[in-house]
Structure 1
Amino acid sequence: MLQSLDVIVLSKLKYGDNDLIFKCYSKQKGLVSFFAKNILKRKKGNVRVSLFQPLGLLTIESSLRPNQNLHNVREVKINKVYHSLNTNIYKGAIAMFLSEVLTSTLKEEEPNAQLFEYLETSFQWLDHDNDFSNFHLLFLLNFTKYLGFYPKFSQHKLPYFNLSSGTFSDVKYDNYTINGKDLTVLYALKGTNFDTVKTIKLNSNQRHSFLSMLLLYFELHLGDFKQPKSLEVLNKVFS
């Protein structure tokens, strides 16, 4: 029996000469992987490789079978149309980077409607807005809420933040305790949204430093997290 899933495209992997495997995060089933046979041969039809862009918002019809890791794709439709995410070089770099982060972090084959909504609305905001240089910083910080290690902000600003524990303190405990400019940015991002994060003025060095700190934070709390290969491209684009 065919099922219709709303999905966000995370990654694709070539299998053989003409086939692809797509990993997606779905609203109804959580993490799902699809197998598209002979898709690299097709230029027309209901299932084309051009539909599977990084962070693409699609509706996929598939016959999902229990105890199967890969599911055949029967039909693909664009759920939400992106106007600039796949054509703007800066937004494309962010999309490629975040798709790698999501591929590395999303493991659960269980639905999470709130997480799916956060991802969907975030990427639609990125597609439509023109002032997005801090988008990925706020996105990753807020993403930690769904991963279970959002920083434990206290009522008063404390001078240190410990990456290992996710807590703030008035003393430096170890080499994973930060202060200075990265801490200032962390406090600035607290409570902001995508419409107001543009008011935080950062130069490229500050942005790169804070991003490196965030990725280390992910590594410390997710044992199998890998540094995205597209990080270098992202840093060059925003240098």
Structure 2
Amino acid sequence: MADILHKVKGVVLRTSKYGETSVIVTLYTDKLGLQSYLVNGVRSGGKRSGNKAVFFQPAALLDLVVYHNELRTLNRIREFKFSAIYQHLFSDVLKNGVALFMIELLHKTLRQPESNEDLFAFMEDSLLALDEAEVTVTANFPVFFAVHLCSILGFSPGSPSPDLLTSSQLLLDLQSGEFMEKAPAHSYYADREAALLITELLQARLPAELKSMKLSSHKRNIVLDLMEIYYSLHLPEFGKLRTLPVLRAILS
């Protein structure tokens, strides 16, 4: 099967060194889904390579022309450039920490190369909004992203009825994704306070709405821990998020 050229947009998920001057970059693209590419000569430091490695930092948004062959697990990139240039995301410690959490969470949910343009658009819009966000929105962004990503992927918690919302016994069963009053037989559930926070986050449609949410670092950590459990219950081999302890530290 011959290689076919495609114009795609991509977000960098991971970059690893290959040989003396090359890298293998994993991207999530709008048209080809999850893909890996070998990029030669970006780490040589010579005049021809310039500083091309900066294009392949995790969370970078790129316009690319790529060679694609479905029989290969590693393809090549013909052309690349930034599709958006961040003003703060790479230099601001808090924003970068949040972005790396988002990138890891997305990467751990992807198992197949199939494209999902809605998912790509959500990721792109989220990163651009994070870059421009003020401090309160930035701090609340991880919980917003974690709650809405599972919605895009099709396993979001359901919506509680008005009666349940006012119940003092409200719980969220993390296994079934259902809100209820009676505690399940297992221990994977969120108490009333956390269930209400998750409901509020689900109802927020835009990151700008996070400005009015006054969440303490303690409450954010509770929701993040619960969402990690939620993802692990619904996605086999999800495991633990390596960026979560770092995120907790910079948000405290």
TM-score, normalized by the shorter chain, greater than 0.5: yes
Q: Do residues 76 (structure 1) and 80 (structure 2) align?
A: yes
Equivalent position of 2:238 in the other structure: 225
Answer whether contact 1:100 1:228 (CA < 8 A) is retained: yes
The alpha carbon displacement at 1:214 in A equals: 0.6
Structure 1 residue corresponding to 2:161, chosen from 155, 164, 169: 155
Structure 2: distance between partners of 1:102 and 1:25: 9
Structure 1: distance between partners of 2:84 and 2:28: 15
Equivalent position of 2:228 in the other structure: 215
CA 1:103/1:143 → structure 2, altered by over 3 Å: closer, same or farther? same
Equivalent position of 1:180 in the other structure: 192
CA 1:47/1:36 → structure 2, altered by over 3 Å: closer, same or farther? farther
CA 1:69/1:47 → structure 2, altered by over 3 Å: closer, same or farther? farther
What SS does the corresponding residue of 1:83 show, helix, strand or coil? coil
Equivalent position of 1:145 in the other structure: 151
Equivalent position of 2:105 in the other structure: 101
1:205 maps to amino acid: H
The alpha carbon displacement at 1:70 in A equals: 0.6
The alpha carbon displacement at 1:37 in A equals: 2.2
Structure 1: distance between partners of 2:181 and 2:192: 13
Structure 2 residue corresponding to 1:62, chosen from 45, 61, 66: 66
CA 1:47/1:73 → structure 2, altered by over 3 Å: closer, same or farther? farther
Once the two structures are superposed, the pairs formed by residues 192-211 of structure 1 within 5 Å of their partners are: 192=204, 193-211=206-224
Which runs of no fewer than 5 residues in structure 1 stay unpaired? none
Once the two structures are superposed, the pairs formed by residues 118-133 of structure 1 within 5 Å of their partners are: 118-130=122-134, 131-133=137-139
Under a length normalisation based on structure 2, what TM-score does the superposition of the two structures give? 0.89
Answer whether contact 2:17 2:23 (CA < 8 A) is retained: yes
The alpha carbon displacement at 1:57 in A equals: 0.7
Answer whether contact 1:47 1:74 (CA < 8 A) is retained: no
Structure 2: distance between partners of 1:183 and 1:15: 45
Answer whether contact 2:12 2:56 (CA < 8 A) is retained: yes
Answer whether contact 2:20 2:44 (CA < 8 A) is retained: no
What SS does the corresponding residue of 1:114 show, helix, strand or coil? helix
The alpha carbon displacement at 1:25 in A equals: 0.7
The alpha carbon displacement at 1:230 in A equals: 1.8
1:190 maps to amino acid: L
2:187 maps to amino acid: N
The alpha carbon displacement at 1:45 in A equals: 4.0
More helix by share: 2
Structure 2: distance between partners of 1:177 and 1:231: 20
Answer whether contact 2:63 2:80 (CA < 8 A) is retained: yes
1:136 maps to amino acid: P
The alpha carbon displacement at 1:154 in A equals: 2.8
Structure 2 residue corresponding to 1:29, chosen from 29, 32, 49: 32
1:233 maps to amino acid: V
Residues matched between the structures, number: 239
1:236 maps to amino acid: A
Which runs of no fewer than 5 residues in structure 2 stay unpaired? none
Sequence identity (%): 27
